[in-house]
């Protein structure tokens, strides 16, 4: 195993982000490579002010190494804010493994990755994310005791997408309360972009609540699984069609960057609340949403159910205890809407302020 440095061009962009922009401020970034297994990974620790950094491992075929590093930086920063507002005693961290998991994921690669994480001595606790699953964390845990999201058979909490979807539903209920006066989606049309690990659980909550659900996904089998179980759910061709479909709520539940200048201008929904991380493509999108009268439930607030679940695993997992904590996402989301209204700022800015306040208080108490 060897640590490697990026090429000079990539280094210039990454170092500028780390040291000279608001998107930086990370405590530590580790670049990992093992040619025998094919592992190339980035581990980014944004903050340990509240405790060991906690966040998942994303396995994805990035277009470039620099794109992978920047994704790790963005995701780990988001985890700091997410963990702070979830009331967890954890900072923010994230890892990305570069490559197509369907092609290069092997037991040897995962074990090697586990050794890299273990070398950080507990500063970073890993879990599942896009492209990684419970069975993968079971393998990683064989080399790294700071692993969550393992199977129940191996002392873990299992699939964290269950409480992630539950938390998003609580945030959506809070948005409905703020926008329409009642904490229910009954009679509302909700469009979900991405019905994979989290999205298909969210469909279940919404159908039970009496919502009309419209879905899309790049994978036909994911759509077919939903429509076979829930014939009343409607499917559309892609996300571009979905955002232009008459909706009350738009729920981005795939990869980040779903809310940009074009999509915000085209949105018909008056509430945005979904599970995807980093939904705002660039600074200023949150103001564009507010200017259009669209209530945005900050992604890292409402999708915190999963990290609540895996954090509980570190203390001997109890599902009901974790679910009770995830239920509080409803109250946290309402508090953010109230703070935004009082301060005259978008909800995303209000959430950031509350998270930064908690982290600052933790640093001061040290």
CA dihedral sign of residues 7, 13, 14, 20: positive
pLDDT band, very low/low/confident/very high, at 193 (cuts 50, 70, 90): very high
Determine the Cα–Cα distance for residues 26 and 28; give it in Å rounded to an integer.
6
- For Cα atoms 36, 40, 41, give the angle at the middle one, nearest 5 degrees: 135
Model confidence at 11: pLDDT above 90: no
Residues identified as active-site? 94
Q: What is the pTM of this model?
A: 0.86
| The pLDDT value given to residue 255 | 78
| The pLDDT value given to residue 74 | 87
Phi, psi of 22, rounded to the nearest 5 degrees? -65, -20
| The pLDDT value given to residue 1 | 41
Q: Print the SS3 string covering 179-221.
A: HHCCCCCCCCEEEEECCCCCHHHHHHHHHHHCCEEEEECCCHH
Per cent of the chain over pLDDT 70 is 95
Quick check: 58 and 42 in contact, CB under 8 A?
no
**Token pair listed for 9:** 């061009």
Name, in order, each residue with C-beta under 8 angstroms of 188's C-beta and a sequence gap of 6 or more.
176, 180, 211, 212, 248, 249
**Token pair listed for 66:** 């620099």
pLDDT band, very low/low/confident/very high, at 360 (cuts 50, 70, 90): very high
DSSP state of 171: H
pLDDT band, very low/low/confident/very high, at 6 (cuts 50, 70, 90): very low
Model confidence at 3: pLDDT above 60: no
């Amino acid at each position: 195993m060897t640590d490697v440095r990026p090429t000079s061009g990539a280094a210039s962009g990454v170092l500028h982000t780390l040291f000279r922009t608001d998107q930086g401020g990370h405590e530590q970034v580790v670049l990992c490579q093992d040619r025998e297994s094919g592992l190339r990974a980035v581990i980014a620790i944004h903050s340990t002010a509240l405790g060991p950094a906690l966040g998942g491992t994303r396995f994805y075929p990035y277009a470039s190494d620099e794109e992978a590093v920047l994704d790790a930086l963005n995701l780990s920063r988001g985890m700091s804010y997410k963990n702070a507002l979830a009331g967890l005693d954890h900072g923010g961290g994230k890892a990305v493994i570069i490559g197509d998991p369907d092609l290069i994921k092997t037991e040897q690669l995962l074990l090697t990755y586990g050794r890299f994480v273990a070398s950080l001595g507990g500063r970073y606790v890993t879990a599942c994310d896009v492209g990684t699953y419970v069975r993968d964390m079971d393998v990683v845990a064989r080399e790294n005791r700071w692993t969550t999201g393992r199977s129940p058979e191996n002392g873990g909490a299992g699939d964290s997408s269950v409480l992630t979807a539950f938390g998003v539903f609580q945030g959506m209920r809070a948005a409905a309360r703020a926008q329409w006066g009642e904490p229910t989606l009954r009679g509302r049309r909700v469009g979900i972009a991405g019905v994979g690990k989290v999205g298909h659980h969210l469909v279940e909550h919404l159908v039970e609540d009496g919502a009309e659900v419209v879905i899309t996904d790049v994978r036909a089998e994911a759509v077919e699984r939903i429509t076979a179980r829930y014939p009343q759910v409607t499917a559309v061709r892609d996300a571009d069609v979905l955002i232009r479909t008459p909706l009350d709520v738009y729920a981005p539940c795939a990869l980040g960057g779903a809310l940009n200048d074009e999509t915000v201008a085209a949105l018909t929904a008056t509430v945005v609340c979904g599970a995807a991380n980093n939904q705002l493509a660039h600074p200023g999108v949150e103001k564009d949403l507010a200017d259009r009268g669209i209530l945005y439930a900050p992604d890292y607030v409402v999708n915190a159910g999963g990290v609540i679940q895996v954090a509980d695993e570190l203390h001997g997992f109890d599902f009901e205890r974790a679910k009770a904590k995830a239920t509080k996402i409803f109250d946290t989301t309402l508090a953010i809407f109230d703070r935004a209204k009082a301060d005259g700022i978008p909800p995303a800015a209000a959430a950031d302020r509350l998270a930064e306040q908690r982290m600052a208080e933790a640093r001061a108490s040290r």
